[in-house]
Chains A and B, each alone.
Chain A
Amino acid sequence: MISKILIANRGEIALRIVRSARELGIKTVAVYSEADRQALHVLLADERVCIGPAKASESYLNIANILSAVDITRADAIHPGYGFLAENAKFAEICQAHGLIFIGPPPSIIRLMGDKNKARQTMKKAGLPILPGSDTVIEDLAIAKKIAAKIGFPVIIKAAAGGGGKGMRICRSSSQLEDQFPIAQGEAKAAFNDPSLYIEKYVSGARHIEIQIVGDRKGKVIAFGERECSVQRKYQKLIEETPSPFIDEKTRRKMMKEVEDAASKVGYQSLGTFEFLVDENRKFYFMEANARVQVEHPITEMVYGINLIKAQIRIASGEKFGFPFELVMRGHAIECRINAEDPATFVPSPGKIDFLVLPGGEGIRVDSAAYGGWVVPPDYDSLVAKIIAYAPNRDLAIRKMRAALEMTTIVGIKTNIPLHLDILSNTDFLAGRYNTQFMDGHMAAKAAEETL
């Protein structure tokens, strides 16, 4: 049904889409900014169109130029990847109005999930547990205080339009709430042009667990076993694994079942991810849903033996689709996000990769658009490679990942590989004892150690 996909993205996910499309016999068009002229997805796509200068707002977010590129290349579908326009409901609508297949959920679903508070309320009605909190967005401190008093401190304030930790504040008392509320409002306004906030109960020591789903066009939704994404720094995921060392089979089944039911109720189609906070008693609370493919989708692919991007394209093209193997989790997969950044200070380290040896061999998968000689541009996020280790169990997967990272050689830019190796040797991490506070504690412990 689809004969040519224009990929409105860059980096590893753009290359990932080129590869999957090629396997399906579908042509690809890369659009790129002037900073990405030598990018691998540009060189390896079937066609390529420059759509603007380095600045994302004038290229990868430039809807007019992207649609003009569709016109001149006669692409019949758009894959938005993640980030950029992936969760822009208006863009999805314009694509549809333009007669294009948008490879993602319907605009209504994107819009719903984009409004974090509305999504929470809708999912609550659809049967998912959520944390006690405000049912509507709050614009007024007095109301915020009343609600906080009702649900009890600590509470967390979040931007309704939010993501990435922007406008997020933990308040442990009424006076903290008074201080933080206007700051969060300001941040939310600055980041999302929308100062709306909502409040919910803050759970300390919680884990970030997410459930991948695939919905077809007939209303059938399949949920996959969880991904554990608690190793985060400032809400940026660093290491993801599946299965979670914390979730038991009963909780897994329950989460999968409830997500499947709730997602079909709202008519979910295409790929999506439902994010949960899971407390120490394995009680889980829906946080938000991401209406797109997730960076960490490969670990789910590894344990199930599937290809989610191919599934996503086939669903979008209206094809009947199915998964060839029985959908059973087998083995353990870990992903490390290799960023071009200083491992200690987290300062981005763009520049030329003079020399590159990526890992390989049994159980190692690399999703990367990097190559020796490539200049990592300073204009975009710093992800240069996703390294995925797959093994029969968690211990073997961690050993495999460590061996792979130790043998990865990247010269010319700094990367966070030393940080990953550090985490992969941490006693708590090895024991599976970690939550979203892990990185704070880990960094603090390391700092203390170095002071000794």
Chain B
Amino acid sequence: MHLSTLIANESATAAHHASFPILSALILVPVLGAVLVAVMSNRRPEWVKLTATLFAVGTGGMSIWLLSSFKSHEAGFQFVSQHEWISAWGISWHLGIDGISLFLVVLTGILFPLVILGVDPHHDEKRYLAWLLLLEAGVMGSFLSLDLFLFFIFFEIVLVPMYFLIGGWGYDKRIYAATKFFLYTMLGSAFMLVGIIATAALARHDIGYFTFDLVKIAEHASFATNTARWLFLSFAIAFAVKVPLFPFHTWLPDAHTQAPTGGSVILAGVLLKMGTYGFLRFGLYLFPAAAVWAKPAFLTLATIGIIYGAIAATMQTDLKRLVAYSSVAHLGFIVLGTFAITSQALTGSVMQMVNHGISTGALFLMVGMIYERRHTRAIAELKGIQAVAPIFAAAFMVVMLSSIGVPGLNGFAGEFLILIGSFETARWWTVVAATGVILAALYLLWAYQRVFHGEPDEANSSFPELKAREGALLLVFIALIAFTGLYPKPMLSRIEPSVDKLIAHVEGHSSYKAPVAHNHPAETTTHEGGE
């Protein structure tokens, strides 16, 4: 078909075309960095590190520039760039950003340089950095793609660098963990690949030509009810594994625990978000009616995940594993918010993706620091660290409180929005899910008590205090935690328009109606409530 002309028309209507292809640069600059780092000589390691840092910081800088020039209160995609790529299959290099993906991109942009600067891999640094940069490109690509095929390949390519990072720089059971991570996630996406193709093939009827373009399909294609459900499920499996949603989560504790610190930070910080982001972008947006249909099931799984993850976390004996399970619980909240489909819940979900990235990322960093110092992650072997390293303990405390969801810190803002939004459409799930906040306090405080409180024994009494570099690194995280917690408005005002547009899209394509503002509350509540 006349794909090129169609694209040209579309580009013309898409008014905000950046003259500089910033989104493509966000993907290609790290790739370039990775290649450069890989071919550099190993004789001058500091040059290698410098190069990697420059590329990561450059990418981060671009993402922050993106944030500053992003038009808030605008729901559509911005900075769109679209080029033909594989025309034989109707695939184009179609990138764009909206409020939902903006902060994930920024988070990615920020997190990678921090990891590169803050965490030493101890061996084979050159290779490590190359993989890390490649990983960044993959993650960026996943968040920026507006083409199903493009999204899938970025979604999938991420496995390779992560696999090498876990397998090459991880701990004793790293190969098992890396393999499990790779195969499990790949299995999930196996279904999605079939789903993607089927979506494009079936959408052809409505669109008139074969294309993988997300926006085209979402806006113009209509699937039969049952078809849409199957398609949705095929996508959902991939995302559920990636998130991970109970009961598809067991790759995560292993991967997180065995990954090197930098890997864990990235894994928790941004990789898991590819799943939750996927639910929004490719679940709700592509198959609104099916998503509404599947709502109860996913709400249930999310709720189970919240409680179950927390309980499992409570009983862990390995600090890193505990944090890993806490991720299962936290991501449960995000999925809960996603499937509640209200303005607050969805905004909260998007926000919580970022928040979880920051706070869990910081937790993993600190667990890594503990390991550096003590060469163990076993809770039983740690004791009384607060007595010898109060500043470290204080930093851990702040991050932990954010993770628990204490108001004023970022974790609360997202979690609360999710819950208050979900309550309107998923009342009983929310009530149960909210008990997760009790459990979160339980497992984290218990762990904190065992690790930081008490009289330090001999092994722990020489626990070194935070070094300047580590302190600076954590300060960035804590600043982000505090700022987002106290003043989330700039973030919310950028997220919300896109979320509202998404909800309107869901409403327009399904029987679902989002709750409206309550002018006559008495009528709506007479038959409900009363705990």
Q: Verify that A and B bind, or say they do not.
A: no
Residues of A within 8 A of B (CB): none
